[in-house]
């Protein structure tokens, strides 16, 4: 089970005099669903990078369960992420030239000599669930919204204990946004995963149990959204 505990996390870059992220303390219970909102430049993606171990700058600790991921080497963080985290990045990071299905199945290819049939079936199911029936088209020809859905299916393939999503519905129209948001929340709940979703989408935020508001790298509000919590 993946509880998140942040202590004294401060992230600054060589050309940023002030910390772009400054979180003295934050605790997120295992299995909770947390929305993070805030204006552009408030540090949301920086937070995603810190929580997923993609970026290691700054000081402080980020503990998921018993593991302080900032104590790991870069290779150690990559292994940890591959095992525990489903990550939906703001710019998707899909591999050009591969189909949607191949993109969803790419991460396990590094650890399986031959892909188990169950994984292939799950990849098909997830693509259907996100509303992409034709997983065989190259991702290059897909619309932004379709790419976003491929990235979500890929993140969920492993049934990860931690799902971190950076604006997962940003490229979608209201209807598909609602559908994809619902799917993220449902799948996270099914697996008891902890879900942290950066979003500007109030509909998605309302589906979560808690909403953090970031401003200039600080958490300025931390509200339970009890009416929708289950």
Ligand X SMILES: Nc1ncnc2c1ncn2[C@@H]1O[C@H](COP(=O)(O)OP(=O)(O)OP(=O)(O)O)[C@@H](O)[C@H]1O
Rounded to the nearest angstrom, the gap between the alpha carbon of residue 66 and the centroid of all alpha carbons in its chain is 20
The least CB distance from residue 112 to ligand X, in Å, is 33
**196 contacts 188 by C-beta, under 8 angstroms:** no
Residue 121 binds which of ligand X, Mg ion, none (CB < 5-8 A, kind-dependent): none
The least CB distance from residue 23 to ligand X, in Å, is 13
The nearer residue to ligand X, 116 or 203, going by C-beta atoms, is: 203
- Interface residue with ligand X among 23, 35, 37, 42 (CB under 6 A) is 42
Q: Does 45 engage in binding with ligand X (CB under 6 A)?
A: yes
The nearer residue to ligand X, 41 or 76, going by C-beta atoms, is: 41
Q: Which residue is nearest to Mg ion (CB)?
A: 45
How many CA atoms are closer than 13 Å to the CA of 167, on its beta-carbon side?
Answer: 17
Q: Does 15 engage in binding with ligand X (CB under 6 A)?
A: yes
The nearer residue to ligand X, 137 or 218, going by C-beta atoms, is: 218
Q: How many residues bind Mg ion (CB under 5 A)?
A: 2
- Tokens matching residue 185: 């929340």
User: What is the pattern of x (binds Mg ion, CB under 5 A) and - over residues 15-54?
Assistant: -----------------------------xx---------
Question: What is the three-state SS of the chain?
Answer: CCCEEEEEEEECCCCCCCCCEEEEEEEECCCCEEEEECCCCCCHHHHHHHHCCCCCCCEEEEEECCEEHHHCCHHHHHHHHHHHEEEECCCCCCCCCCEHHHHHCHHHHCCCCCCCHHHHHHHHHHHHHCCCCCCCCEHHHCCHHHHHHHHHHHHHCCCCCEEEEECCCCCCCHHHHHHHHHHHHHHHHHHCCEEEEECCCHHHHHCCCEEEEEECCEEEEEEECCCCCC
The least CB distance from residue 193 to Mg ion, in Å, is 22
Q: Does 41 engage in binding with ligand X (CB under 6 A)?
A: yes
Residue 15 binds which of ligand X, Mg ion, none (CB < 5-8 A, kind-dependent): ligand X
The least CB distance from residue 90 to ligand X, in Å, is 6
Q: Does 13 engage in binding with ligand X (CB under 6 A)?
A: yes
What is the binding site for Mg ion (CB under 5 A)?
Answer: 44-45
Q: Which residues of the shown chain bind ligand X in the complex (CB under 6 A)?
A: 13, 15-16, 20, 38, 40-46, 90
């Amino acid at each position: 089970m993946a509880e998140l505990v942040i202590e004294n996390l401060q992230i600054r870059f060589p050309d940023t005099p002030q910390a772009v992220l400054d979180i003295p303390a934050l605790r997120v219970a295992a299995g909770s669903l947390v929305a993070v909102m805030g204006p552009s430049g408030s540090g949301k993606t920086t937070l995603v990078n810190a929580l997923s171990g993609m970026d290691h700058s700054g000081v402080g600790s980020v503990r998921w369960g018993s593991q302080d991921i900032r104590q790991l080497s870069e290779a150690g963080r990559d292994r940890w992420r591959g095992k525990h985290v489903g990550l939906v990045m703001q710019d998707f990071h899909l591999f050009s030239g591969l189909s949607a299905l191949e993109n969803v199945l790419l991460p396990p290819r590094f650890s399986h000599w031959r892909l188990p049939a169950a994984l292939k079936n799950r990849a098909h199911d997830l693509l259907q669930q996100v509303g992409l029936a034709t997983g065989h088209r190259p991702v290059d020809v897909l619309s932004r919204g379709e790419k976003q859905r491929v990235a979500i299916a890929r993140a969920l393939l492993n049934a990860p204990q931690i799902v971190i999503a950076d604006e997962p519905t940003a490229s979608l129209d209201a209807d598909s946004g609602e559908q994809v948001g619902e799917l993220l929340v449902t799948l996270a709940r099914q697996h008891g995963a902890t879900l942290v979703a950066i979003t500007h989408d109030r509909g998605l935020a309302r589906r979560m149990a808690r909403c953090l508001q970031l401003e200039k790298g600080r958490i300025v509000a931390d509200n339970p959204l009890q009416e929708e919590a289950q």
